[in-house]
Structure 1
Amino acid sequence: MYELFNGFFSFDAKFWRTIIPLLINPGKVTKDYIEGKRSRYSNPFRFYLTISIFFFLILGVSNNIEKFKSFKNGEDRETLNISLFKEIEEITTPPDSSKTDSIPVLHKDSIPKINIRSVKFLGVNLEEFIQYTQKYPNSKIDDALDSLQLEKTILNRFFYSRAKAISAIGSEKGAQEQFINQLLSYGSVSLFVFLPLFTLFLRLFYFRKKHTYVDHLIFVFHTQTVFFMLLSLLYLISFFTNRIEPVIFLILFLIYLFLALKKCYDQGYFKTAIKFMILNLVYLFMSMVGIVIVGAISFALY
């Protein structure tokens, strides 16, 4: 394990010979690497993995710092105190028979029927499940299905559990943070599928160039590495000031990407500009589809 992490995080001379020209000279490292000048540079895949892990570590630290700041400023302190007092009151207060008699028992006939049929998925009324979980959050799945007069199928059980997750994510801050962390975790893994797929489009746009698929993949890994480095820099600056505009980093990356395309594939400004715009649209579309898929998987496994 030590040798594995040491291999990824050993910042030797190759690391610095890669990171500096990669940032200040768009396309140079990729072009040199494709032309066989590889001995002076770090492996593109390992370099990308190192920077991406570093970025997601910064992202996690940033979330923890934001929570600490909000608690320090008193934003969450009142909520925490209220919840603690409620728990203490529930523990120390003896049960009152007059109150316990009034607690509703979840029988099929005692639950008011919810006649909302506006949202259905695979024949399941998800909105009805959500309303039921909000009204009876502690109800078990089978008891809830009995009360709603639904069959105890795998599909109904699954969607009822997802309805409980929706209610929790919508109302509980801890559940929201857990879901976001899970989303980021799956998102980082999905990039290893997304980037090779996008490389196919890049190869299609430059099919006349004598570059192999691996050459195009190296370009994609290098540009994505720069994107993560700029985002990491943005988060590091945001630790100290809130006056930085994220759009500045987006513009810088788009300029970098355009210059990298022109230098690496050695085409004129006009051709590069056309391909740059189309490739960005393809990347945006694939990103949106990827976000939906990752979101659905994260929600299904939450």
Structure 2
Amino acid sequence: MENKPTTQPKGRYELKYRGVDCLNCGHPLKLSDKFCPNCSQANSTKKLTLLDFFEEFLANYVSYDSKLWRTLTALLLRPGKITREYISGRRLSYTNPFRFLLSLSIIYFLIISYNSEFKSINKYGYNNQKSIFDLNKEFQKIEFDSDEERQLALIQIDSLKMSKFFKDRISNKDSIILSDPTSYFKEINTENLTRRFFGKIDFFNSIIKHDTIYYFEQGVSKFEIPENRENEITFNLANSFVEIEKRPGTFLNSLVSKLPFTTFFFLPFFSFFIWLVYIRKKYTYTDHLIFSFHNQSLLFILLIVSNLLNAVFNFRSEGVFILIFAIYLYKAMRNFYKQGRVKTVIKYFFLNTIFFILGILAITILIAQSVFTY
């Protein structure tokens, strides 16, 4: 006698679409098997329609008992406890921490990329009419308490002659280089390594701006520059600096958009310090890394919400959400590591100091990498 289910399923799971062998792994099935007990694939021989495809996709994210909603609920309402449950073996109930963090970082990346507020800074590029050295024009936009205060500030700026000073210095340096580029470059080559390296960057910066040199080989043939690795590196750096000077806002936007992905190189190092601080606890390095992934995921969620609120209501809410995260992190450490308040507070401040040091180092490396590849 056939073992038929008591409730009649619909759609792709109707009995007429059931098979006796799994299409994925070949495991024998019964008609009552909605899913393969060996590989968990749905027992259905029905060809996928476009509607079936989107129903399955949405079901994984919208259904009330999906892994996504269980993960979000546990992450928001039970700081630290979701990590304890996950490392204790209850992994089927929650989304993979690495995959969850990656998804959130992509969403955050898209939001930041869409927000192009930094691009407005492009008007301060060196070849733009609104030069950053034109301080008088920029001071006209600043609100002062009185006209007397405004006039006093303008007089002080004029007395410093900063705009003329910077323009004259740059103009003089460029004119010296451009008067005899070949001789100037040969003179640079006689300096020590540091002076030679930065001198070459200045040289290439000037000829790229004023002599329409677009690639390294042009400079080699035009100015008799030796074709070696050092010269090529300094040319590429100078070219990047010129592009950044032209479009500083675009560079900043590109830099900020890369920040979410530095997390995946940053957190493994930070987790090592967590492991050292809690070395007497019976946790593996991977357990600490999962704890870091969960906390970073919560930070991304707060930043995503903050960006959405900023866009809709036009106010800055990052400070509030960073404060919420600071409180959340303390609660997560208490719930996960089960230590007293005093020990947790001491370790909390120590680890946050390490976090900021590593963060500054990671951002420095990111800026250097961005400059080299811009």
Give the TM interval when normalised to the shorter protein.
Answer: 0.7 to 0.9
Secondary structure of 2:90's aligned partner: coil
Counterpart of 2:250 (choices 168, 177, 187) is: 177
Retained in 1: the 8 A contact 2:87–2:287? yes
- The reply on whether 1:239 has 2:311 as its aligned counterpart is yes
Counterpart Cα distance in 1 of 2:265 and 2:363: 13
Counterpart Cα distance in 1 of 2:352 and 2:95: 27
Residue 207 of structure 1, CA deviation: 0.7
Counterpart Cα distance in 1 of 2:214 and 2:90: 65
Counterpart Cα distance in 2 of 1:122 and 1:23: 55
Counterpart Cα distance in 1 of 2:181 and 2:280: 72
Retained in 2: the 8 A contact 1:195–1:220? yes
Residue 239 of structure 1, CA deviation: 1.1
Deviates more, 1:201-210 or 1:144-153: 144-153
The one-letter code sitting in structure 2 at the alignment partner of 1:141 is: F
Which residue is 1:59 aligned to? 112
Aligned residues: 262
The one-letter code sitting in structure 1 at the alignment partner of 2:227 is: K
1:222-301 superposed matches below 5 A: 222-301=294-373
Report which structure shows greater RCO (CA 8 Å, sep ≥6): 1
Structure 1 residues 143 and 51, CA gap change in structure 2 (3 angstroms): closer
Secondary structure of 2:312's aligned partner: coil
What CA deviation, in whole Å up to 9, does each residue of 1:151-173 have, x standing for no partner? Answer: 23221122112212211111236
- The reply on whether 1:136 has 2:208 as its aligned counterpart is no
The one-letter code sitting in structure 1 at the alignment partner of 2:355 is: Y
The one-letter code sitting in structure 2 at the alignment partner of 1:172 is: R
What CA deviation, in whole Å up to 9, does each residue of 1:199-225 have, x standing for no partner? Answer: 111111001111111211110000000
TM-score, normalised via structure 1 length: 0.73
Which residue is 2:280 aligned to? 208
Secondary structure of 1:41's aligned partner: coil
1:30-45 superposed matches below 5 A: 30-45=83-98
Counterpart Cα distance in 2 of 1:288 and 1:184: 16
- The reply on whether 1:20 has 2:63 as its aligned counterpart is no
Give ranges in structure 2 of 5+ residues lacking alignment: 1-52, 129-176
Secondary structure of 2:115's aligned partner: helix
Retained in 2: the 8 A contact 1:55–1:228? yes
| TM-align CA RMSD | 3.6
Poorly superposed stretches of 4+, deviation over 4 Å: 6-9, 106-119, 145-150
Residue 46 of structure 1, CA deviation: 1.8
Residue 119 of structure 1, CA deviation: 10
Which residue is 1:85 aligned to? none
Retained in 2: the 8 A contact 1:262–1:269? yes
The one-letter code sitting in structure 1 at the alignment partner of 2:207 is: Y
What CA deviation, in whole Å up to 9, does each residue of 1:55-113 have, x standing for no partner? Answer: 112222223xx489x7xxxx99xx99xxxxxxxxxxxxxxxxxxxxxxxxx99848895
Counterpart Cα distance in 2 of 1:297 and 1:107: 30
The one-letter code sitting in structure 1 at the alignment partner of 2:96 is: N
The one-letter code sitting in structure 1 at the alignment partner of 2:356 is: L
What CA deviation, in whole Å up to 9, does each residue of 1:124-171 have, x standing for no partner? Answer: 522233233232244653443566664232211221122122111112
Structure 1 residues 67 and 250, CA gap change in structure 2 (3 angstroms): closer
Counterpart Cα distance in 2 of 1:294 and 1:144: 29
1:36-185 superposed matches below 5 A: 36-63=89-116, 66=117, 109=180, 113=184, 120=194, 123-125=197-199, 126-138=201-213, 140-144=215-219, 150-172=225-247, 176-177=249-250, 180-181=253-254, 184-185=257-258
TM-score, normalised via structure 2 length: 0.60
Secondary structure of 1:39's aligned partner: coil
Counterpart of 1:198 (choices 270, 289, 297) is: 270
Counterpart Cα distance in 2 of 1:10 and 1:159: 51
The one-letter code sitting in structure 1 at the alignment partner of 2:75 is: L
Residue 280 of structure 1, CA deviation: 0.7
Structure 1 residues 138 and 222, CA gap change in structure 2 (3 angstroms): same
Structure 1 residues 38 and 121, CA gap change in structure 2 (3 angstroms): farther
Greater Cα radius of gyration, structure 1 or 2: 2
Retained in 1: the 8 A contact 2:330–2:344? yes
Retained in 1: the 8 A contact 2:213–2:219? no
Structure 1 residues 118 and 177, CA gap change in structure 2 (3 angstroms): farther
Retained in 1: the 8 A contact 2:70–2:94? yes
Counterpart Cα distance in 2 of 1:241 and 1:280: 31
